[in-house]
Homo-oligomer: A and B are copies of this chain.
Amino acid sequence: MILTVTPNPALDVTYDVEHLTPHGSHRVLAVHEVAGGKGINVASVLHRLGRDVLVTGVVGGPTGDQVRADLDRRGIPHRFARSSAPTRRTTTVVGRDDGEATAFNEPGWPWPDGSWMALLDHVAGLLAERPVSVLVASGSLPPGAPDHAFADLTLLGRDAGVPVVVDGSRDALLGALAAGPDVVKPNREELLDVTHVDDPVLGAKVLQDKGARHVVVSLGADGIMAVSPTGTTVRAWLGERLRGNATGAGDSAVAALAASIARGDDWADGLADAVAWSAAAVLRPTAGDVDPDDVERLRAAVRVETLED
Protein backbone atom coordinates (compact mmCIF):
# COMPACT_ATOMS: atom_id res chain seq x y z
CA MET A 1 0.00 0.00 0.00
CA ILE A 2 1.13 3.52 -0.85
CA LEU A 3 0.52 6.06 1.91
CA THR A 4 0.12 9.69 0.80
CA VAL A 5 0.42 12.45 3.38
CA THR A 6 -1.20 15.84 2.63
CA PRO A 7 -0.45 18.21 5.52
CA ASN A 8 -2.53 21.02 3.98
CA PRO A 9 -5.45 19.52 2.04
CA ALA A 10 -8.16 21.70 0.57
CA LEU A 11 -11.72 21.64 -0.52
CA ASP A 12 -11.30 22.56 -4.18
CA VAL A 13 -14.26 24.67 -5.29
CA THR A 14 -14.84 25.42 -8.96
CA TYR A 15 -17.15 28.24 -10.06
CA ASP A 16 -18.35 28.22 -13.66
CA VAL A 17 -19.11 31.73 -14.91
CA GLU A 18 -20.03 32.93 -18.38
CA HIS A 19 -16.96 35.14 -18.70
CA LEU A 20 -14.54 36.52 -16.13
CA THR A 21 -14.76 40.32 -16.03
CA PRO A 22 -12.33 41.95 -13.57
CA HIS A 23 -14.19 44.28 -11.17
CA GLY A 24 -17.53 42.85 -12.36
CA SER A 25 -20.27 40.97 -10.55
CA HIS A 26 -20.72 37.38 -11.73
CA ARG A 27 -23.57 34.98 -11.44
CA VAL A 28 -22.07 31.57 -10.66
CA LEU A 29 -23.64 29.08 -13.09
CA ALA A 30 -22.42 25.91 -11.37
CA VAL A 31 -20.50 25.02 -8.22
CA HIS A 32 -18.31 21.90 -7.94
CA GLU A 33 -16.61 20.90 -4.69
CA VAL A 34 -14.02 18.11 -4.50
CA ALA A 35 -11.29 17.02 -2.12
CA GLY A 36 -7.99 18.53 -3.20
CA GLY A 37 -4.39 19.02 -2.24
CA LYS A 38 -1.41 17.42 -3.94
CA GLY A 39 -1.21 14.23 -1.85
CA ILE A 40 -4.92 13.63 -2.37
CA ASN A 41 -4.49 14.07 -6.12
CA VAL A 42 -1.58 11.60 -6.07
CA ALA A 43 -3.77 9.08 -4.25
CA SER A 44 -6.66 9.70 -6.61
CA VAL A 45 -4.50 8.87 -9.65
CA LEU A 46 -3.14 5.74 -7.95
CA HIS A 47 -6.67 4.64 -7.05
CA ARG A 48 -7.88 5.34 -10.61
CA LEU A 49 -5.12 3.05 -11.91
CA GLY A 50 -5.97 0.26 -9.48
CA ARG A 51 -3.16 0.74 -6.98
CA ASP A 52 -3.67 0.16 -3.26
CA VAL A 53 -3.49 3.53 -1.54
CA LEU A 54 -4.34 5.26 1.74
CA VAL A 55 -4.78 9.02 2.18
CA THR A 56 -3.76 10.77 5.36
CA GLY A 57 -3.08 14.30 6.57
CA VAL A 58 -5.02 16.71 8.76
CA VAL A 59 -8.58 17.92 8.26
CA GLY A 60 -10.89 20.03 10.39
CA GLY A 61 -14.18 21.88 10.40
CA PRO A 62 -17.06 21.52 7.96
CA THR A 63 -14.74 21.77 4.95
CA GLY A 64 -12.74 18.88 6.40
CA ASP A 65 -15.95 16.86 6.63
CA GLN A 66 -16.62 17.65 2.98
CA VAL A 67 -13.11 16.47 2.02
CA ARG A 68 -13.70 13.15 3.76
CA ALA A 69 -17.18 12.74 2.30
CA ASP A 70 -15.86 13.38 -1.21
CA LEU A 71 -13.11 10.75 -0.80
CA ASP A 72 -15.78 8.31 0.43
CA ARG A 73 -17.85 9.08 -2.67
CA ARG A 74 -14.85 8.39 -4.90
CA GLY A 75 -13.99 5.20 -3.00
CA ILE A 76 -10.54 6.43 -1.96
CA PRO A 77 -9.55 5.10 1.49
CA HIS A 78 -8.48 7.71 4.04
CA ARG A 79 -7.43 7.98 7.68
CA PHE A 80 -6.98 11.66 8.61
CA ALA A 81 -5.84 13.20 11.85
CA ARG A 82 -8.34 15.83 13.03
CA SER A 83 -7.61 19.44 13.89
CA SER A 84 -9.64 22.27 15.39
CA ALA A 85 -8.46 24.44 12.45
CA PRO A 86 -10.86 24.20 9.49
CA THR A 87 -9.60 22.80 6.22
CA ARG A 88 -8.88 25.55 3.69
CA ARG A 89 -10.55 26.04 0.30
CA THR A 90 -9.25 26.85 -3.10
CA THR A 91 -11.64 28.60 -5.47
CA THR A 92 -11.12 28.35 -9.21
CA VAL A 93 -13.23 30.43 -11.55
CA VAL A 94 -13.62 28.98 -15.04
CA GLY A 95 -15.06 31.05 -17.90
CA ARG A 96 -17.43 29.05 -20.06
CA ASP A 97 -16.56 31.23 -23.03
CA ASP A 98 -12.83 30.50 -23.12
CA GLY A 99 -12.34 27.63 -20.65
CA GLU A 100 -9.66 29.65 -18.86
CA ALA A 101 -9.17 29.13 -15.12
CA THR A 102 -8.38 31.80 -12.52
CA ALA A 103 -7.38 30.35 -9.15
CA PHE A 104 -7.62 31.77 -5.63
CA ASN A 105 -5.78 29.62 -3.12
CA GLU A 106 -6.35 30.06 0.61
CA PRO A 107 -3.08 29.47 2.47
CA GLY A 108 -4.82 27.52 5.24
CA TRP A 109 -5.45 28.42 8.86
CA PRO A 110 -2.48 28.41 11.21
CA TRP A 111 -2.13 25.10 12.95
CA PRO A 112 -2.95 24.96 16.64
CA ASP A 113 -0.04 24.13 18.94
CA GLY A 114 0.89 20.47 18.96
CA SER A 115 -0.84 19.71 15.63
CA TRP A 116 2.33 18.78 13.80
CA MET A 117 3.43 16.33 16.51
CA ALA A 118 -0.07 14.88 16.49
CA LEU A 119 0.15 14.30 12.72
CA LEU A 120 3.57 12.64 13.07
CA ASP A 121 2.17 10.33 15.76
CA HIS A 122 -0.78 9.55 13.53
CA VAL A 123 1.45 8.71 10.52
CA ALA A 124 3.77 6.62 12.72
CA GLY A 125 0.71 4.70 13.88
CA LEU A 126 -0.38 4.03 10.30
CA LEU A 127 3.14 2.88 9.36
CA ALA A 128 3.18 0.52 12.35
CA GLU A 129 -0.19 -1.07 11.68
CA ARG A 130 -0.13 -1.48 7.88
CA PRO A 131 2.28 -2.81 5.23
CA VAL A 132 3.25 0.48 3.57
CA SER A 133 5.47 0.19 0.48
CA VAL A 134 6.05 3.90 -0.21
CA LEU A 135 5.31 7.07 1.71
CA VAL A 136 4.51 10.18 -0.34
CA ALA A 137 4.59 13.62 1.31
CA SER A 138 3.11 16.27 -0.95
CA GLY A 139 2.01 19.82 -1.19
CA SER A 140 2.16 22.98 0.81
CA LEU A 141 2.42 23.37 4.55
CA PRO A 142 -0.11 25.38 6.52
CA PRO A 143 1.05 28.63 8.14
CA GLY A 144 2.97 27.81 11.29
CA ALA A 145 4.00 24.29 10.28
CA PRO A 146 7.74 23.73 10.78
CA ASP A 147 10.05 23.89 7.76
CA HIS A 148 11.39 20.48 8.79
CA ALA A 149 7.94 18.90 8.35
CA PHE A 150 8.88 16.78 5.33
CA ALA A 151 12.20 15.88 6.98
CA ASP A 152 10.26 14.53 9.96
CA LEU A 153 8.10 12.44 7.64
CA THR A 154 11.20 11.22 5.79
CA LEU A 155 12.75 10.05 9.05
CA LEU A 156 9.52 8.30 10.03
CA GLY A 157 9.60 6.45 6.71
CA ARG A 158 13.25 5.54 7.13
CA ASP A 159 12.63 4.19 10.65
CA ALA A 160 9.87 2.02 9.21
CA GLY A 161 12.03 0.90 6.27
CA VAL A 162 9.71 2.68 3.80
CA PRO A 163 11.03 4.76 0.88
CA VAL A 164 9.84 8.36 0.88
CA VAL A 165 8.91 10.60 -2.08
CA VAL A 166 8.70 14.33 -1.30
CA ASP A 167 6.90 16.83 -3.53
CA GLY A 168 7.14 20.23 -1.90
CA SER A 169 8.43 23.67 -2.74
CA ARG A 170 10.40 26.50 -1.15
CA ASP A 171 11.16 26.08 2.56
CA ALA A 172 9.20 22.83 2.76
CA LEU A 173 11.40 21.32 0.04
CA LEU A 174 14.65 22.74 1.43
CA GLY A 175 13.71 21.60 4.92
CA ALA A 176 13.23 18.02 3.73
CA LEU A 177 16.68 17.54 2.21
CA ALA A 178 18.80 17.02 5.32
CA ALA A 179 16.80 13.90 6.16
CA GLY A 180 17.80 12.31 2.84
CA PRO A 181 14.46 11.70 1.09
CA ASP A 182 14.66 8.90 -1.49
CA VAL A 183 13.03 11.02 -4.20
CA VAL A 184 12.24 14.72 -4.45
CA LYS A 185 10.25 16.00 -7.44
CA PRO A 186 10.40 19.75 -7.95
CA ASN A 187 9.29 21.28 -11.22
CA ARG A 188 11.66 23.58 -13.08
CA GLU A 189 10.41 26.74 -11.34
CA GLU A 190 10.49 25.18 -7.87
CA LEU A 191 14.05 23.95 -8.48
CA LEU A 192 15.21 27.36 -9.71
CA ASP A 193 13.49 28.97 -6.75
CA VAL A 194 15.44 26.99 -4.14
CA THR A 195 18.78 26.56 -5.99
CA HIS A 196 19.00 29.75 -8.09
CA VAL A 197 20.46 27.44 -10.76
CA ASP A 198 18.84 27.47 -14.17
CA ASP A 199 20.11 24.13 -15.52
CA PRO A 200 17.96 21.25 -14.17
CA VAL A 201 20.86 18.79 -13.90
CA LEU A 202 23.07 21.23 -12.04
CA GLY A 203 20.12 22.24 -9.88
CA ALA A 204 19.39 18.59 -9.08
CA LYS A 205 22.98 18.16 -7.98
CA VAL A 206 22.63 21.11 -5.61
CA LEU A 207 19.70 19.31 -3.96
CA GLN A 208 21.76 16.12 -3.78
CA ASP A 209 24.60 18.00 -2.11
CA LYS A 210 22.06 18.98 0.55
CA GLY A 211 20.91 15.39 1.11
CA ALA A 212 18.39 14.33 -1.54
CA ARG A 213 18.94 10.95 -3.17
CA HIS A 214 17.00 10.80 -6.48
CA VAL A 215 16.00 14.18 -7.90
CA VAL A 216 13.28 14.17 -10.55
CA VAL A 217 12.62 17.52 -12.23
CA SER A 218 9.36 17.82 -14.12
CA LEU A 219 9.78 20.03 -17.20
CA GLY A 220 6.20 20.39 -18.39
CA ALA A 221 5.86 19.58 -22.08
CA ASP A 222 9.57 18.69 -22.15
CA GLY A 223 9.02 15.64 -19.93
CA ILE A 224 11.27 14.97 -16.97
CA MET A 225 14.97 14.96 -16.10
CA ALA A 226 16.17 12.72 -13.26
CA VAL A 227 19.53 12.47 -11.55
CA SER A 228 20.29 9.32 -9.52
CA PRO A 229 22.46 9.19 -6.39
CA THR A 230 25.30 7.77 -8.52
CA GLY A 231 25.04 10.67 -10.95
CA THR A 232 23.25 8.90 -13.78
CA THR A 233 21.01 11.32 -15.65
CA VAL A 234 17.86 10.09 -17.34
CA ARG A 235 15.69 12.22 -19.57
CA ALA A 236 12.24 10.98 -20.54
CA TRP A 237 9.72 12.78 -22.71
CA LEU A 238 6.66 12.23 -24.83
CA GLY A 239 7.26 11.99 -28.56
CA GLU A 240 4.13 14.01 -29.28
CA ARG A 241 2.60 17.32 -28.23
CA LEU A 242 -0.58 17.45 -26.16
CA ARG A 243 -3.13 20.13 -25.53
CA GLY A 244 -4.96 20.17 -22.22
CA ASN A 245 -4.89 21.22 -18.61
CA ALA A 246 -1.51 20.86 -16.89
CA THR A 247 -3.05 21.13 -13.39
CA GLY A 248 -2.33 17.89 -11.55
CA ALA A 249 0.24 16.66 -14.10
CA GLY A 250 3.01 16.81 -11.48
CA ASP A 251 0.89 14.89 -8.97
CA SER A 252 0.30 12.21 -11.59
CA ALA A 253 4.07 11.94 -12.16
CA VAL A 254 4.61 11.51 -8.42
CA ALA A 255 1.94 8.81 -8.38
CA ALA A 256 3.80 6.94 -11.15
CA LEU A 257 7.14 7.19 -9.32
CA ALA A 258 5.58 5.87 -6.12
CA ALA A 259 3.87 3.02 -7.97
CA SER A 260 7.12 2.12 -9.69
CA ILE A 261 9.07 2.08 -6.42
CA ALA A 262 6.31 0.06 -4.77
CA ARG A 263 6.61 -2.62 -7.46
CA GLY A 264 10.43 -2.54 -7.51
CA ASP A 265 10.48 -1.61 -11.21
CA ASP A 266 13.56 -0.49 -13.05
CA TRP A 267 14.11 3.23 -12.35
CA ALA A 268 14.13 4.26 -16.02
CA ASP A 269 10.79 2.48 -16.50
CA GLY A 270 9.39 4.40 -13.55
CA LEU A 271 10.49 7.66 -15.12
CA ALA A 272 8.86 6.68 -18.42
CA ASP A 273 5.68 5.85 -16.50
CA ALA A 274 5.87 9.26 -14.84
CA VAL A 275 5.88 10.95 -18.25
CA ALA A 276 2.95 8.84 -19.49
CA TRP A 277 0.85 9.27 -16.33
CA SER A 278 1.58 12.97 -16.30
CA ALA A 279 0.57 13.32 -19.95
CA ALA A 280 -2.63 11.37 -19.29
CA ALA A 281 -3.48 13.88 -16.54
CA VAL A 282 -3.10 16.74 -19.04
CA LEU A 283 -5.86 15.17 -21.14
CA ARG A 284 -8.33 15.28 -18.23
CA PRO A 285 -9.89 18.54 -17.04
CA THR A 286 -9.60 17.83 -13.30
CA ALA A 287 -6.53 17.22 -11.15
CA GLY A 288 -6.26 13.69 -9.77
CA ASP A 289 -7.89 12.06 -12.77
CA VAL A 290 -6.39 9.95 -15.58
CA ASP A 291 -7.92 7.53 -18.05
CA PRO A 292 -6.16 4.13 -17.91
CA ASP A 293 -6.48 3.81 -21.71
CA ASP A 294 -4.69 7.15 -22.16
CA VAL A 295 -1.91 5.96 -19.84
CA GLU A 296 -1.38 2.80 -21.85
CA ARG A 297 -1.45 4.53 -25.23
CA LEU A 298 0.83 7.40 -24.15
CA ARG A 299 3.31 5.03 -22.46
CA ALA A 300 4.20 3.65 -25.91
CA ALA A 301 5.08 7.16 -27.09
CA VAL A 302 7.55 7.91 -24.27
CA ARG A 303 11.23 8.15 -25.17
CA VAL A 304 14.01 7.66 -22.64
CA GLU A 305 17.65 8.71 -22.84
CA THR A 306 20.21 7.71 -20.19
CA LEU A 307 23.49 9.58 -19.72
CA GLU A 308 26.13 8.19 -17.36
CA ASP A 309 27.92 10.84 -15.35
Give residues of chain A (88-107) contacting chain B, Cβ–Cβ below 8 Å: 91, 93, 100-107
> A17 at the A/B interface (Cβ < 8 Å)?
yes
Select A28's contact among B17, B28, B106, beta carbons within 8 Å: B106
With beta carbons under 8 angstroms apart, the residue of B24, B27, B62, B101 that contacts A102 is B24
Docked-complex contact B20 and A22, CB < 8 angstroms: yes
Least distance between A1 CB and chain B CB atoms (Å): 32
* A14-40 vs B, Cβ < 8 Å mask (1 yes, 0 no): 010100111111111001000000000
Whether A23 pairs with B100 at a CB distance below 8 angstroms is yes
Residues of B within 8 A of A105 (CB): 25-28
A interface residues, how many (CB within 8 angstroms): 27
Q: Which residues of B contact A93 (CB under 8 A)?
A: 104
The interface residues of chain B lying within 8 Å CB-to-CB of A152 are: none
CB closest residue in chain B, given A24: B102
Q: For residue A52, which residues in chain B have a CB less than 8 angstroms away from its CB?
A: none
Contact status of A100 and B28, CB under 8 A, knowing A62-B62, A62-B65, A91-B15: no
B interface footprint on A185-219 (CB within 8 Å = 1, 0 otherwise)? 00000000000000000000000000000000000
What CA separation (Å) do A150 and B63 show in the bound complex? 33
The answer to whether A24 touches B91 (Cβ under 8 A) is no
Interface string of A214-248 (1 = CB under 8 A from B): 00000000000000000000000000000000000
How far is B107's CA from A31's CA once the two chains are assembled, in angstroms? 9
Beyond contacts A20-B22, A25-B105: 17 other A-B pairs, Cβ-Cβ < 8 A, are A15-B91, A20-B23, A21-B102, A22-B22, A24-B103, A25-B102, A25-B103, A26-B103, A26-B105, A27-B107, A28-B105, A28-B106, A62-B62, A62-B65, A62-B66, A91-B104, A93-B104
Provide 11 A-B residue pairs closer than 8 Å at the C-beta atoms, listed in order of the A residue.
Answer: A15-B91, A15-B104, A20-B22, A22-B22, A24-B103, A26-B103, A26-B105, A28-B106, A62-B62, A62-B63, A93-B104
Interface positions of A (Cβ within 8 A of B): 15, 17, 20-28, 31, 61-63, 65-66, 91, 93, 100-107
